[in-house]
Amino acid sequence: MNKVIDFQKVDLGYGKVKILSDVNLTIYNGEYCSIIGTNGCGKSTLLKSMMSIIKPLSGSIVISQTKMGYVPQNNVLDPLFPLTVFEVVKMGLYGQMGLFKHIKKKHTSAILQVIKDVQLQGKENNLFRDLSGGQRQKVLIARALISQPNCLILDEPTSGIDIPSQHEILNLIKQLHQEQDVTIIMVSHDLNIVMKYSQSVAIIHNGVLQHGQKEEIMTTEKLTKIYNYQMQVVNQVIVGIN
């Protein structure tokens, strides 16, 4: 199997502040990997390094010749911008286009197709800010998909979304993973979603990353220790105990 992302003895941080130490992480083509950890543990820093936005303080990061697609949290985008669904999805093409090139007919049909793929046909001209949380998340997935990525990085895709919409989005991601063999890297705080959909899990605690199959990482002992809260894994379902 081809490696998509390979971190070897990587230290990550900003300036002289080290956030993650000695990260060893290999993600293979077609893998569904979730990243978990408490707030402020360094998940976003790890994602940024995967997208080559920040450079490592030391060690080596090898990103294979893979097209990356990034799906941010839907609430980080400013609702002040009166952008339509079509315009937001179109933004996914800007990386491929040169300075003076503009959208052509083939691009327009591709945009409409990808909007249809995420089940938002008919909403092309709706304002992005007027959509529900779930619909906005689908638009952002469509925007990532328009550049036909091999690897999709999602930052808490189900955050602030109702349960039916959560499952719609997760099934959409699952479909992409299974049918189009897209590598999925997803940050999530919902451990049951991670347990249900992921193949492998990277867990960050005290600046140290552990990566492995979900069965070896998502154990009662590890989760209780990391979250400092009594949890129990029963039949692949995680329950908190007061």
The residues that touch other proteins, with contacts defined as CB under 8 A, are: 48, 51, 53, 68-70, 72, 76-78, 80-84, 87, 91-92, 94-96, 99-100, 102, 127, 143, 147, 153
Query: Minimum CB separation from other proteins for residue 113, in Å?
Result: 19
Q: Which is nearer to other proteins, 153 or 233 (CB)?
A: 153
Q: Which is nearer to other proteins, 96 or 109 (CB)?
A: 96
Q: How far apart are CA 125 and CA 206, in angstroms?
A: 46
Closest CA to 188 of 206, 175, 199, 201: 201
> From the CB of 60, what's the least distance to other proteins, in Å?
20
Tell the smallest beta-carbon distance from residue 143 to other proteins (Å). Answer: 7
Which of 197, 152, 186 lies closest to 34 in space, CA to CA? 186
Q: Which is nearer to other proteins, 102 or 105 (CB)?
A: 102
How far is residue 90's CA from residue 102's CA, in Å, rounded to a whole number?
Answer: 11
CA triplet 150, 180, 166: central angle to 5 degrees? 90
Q: Which is nearer to other proteins, 147 or 183 (CB)?
A: 147
84 vs 199, which CB is nearer to other proteins? 84
The token pair at 158 is 């189900």
**In the complex, minimum distance from the CB of residue 95 to other proteins, in angstroms, rounded to a whole number:** 3
CB of 178 vs other proteins, minimal distance in Å: 24
Q: Contact 112/123 with Cβ under 8 angstroms?
A: no
| Amino acid present at 15 | G
What is the rounded (10 degree) CA torsion for 139, 140, 145, 147? 110
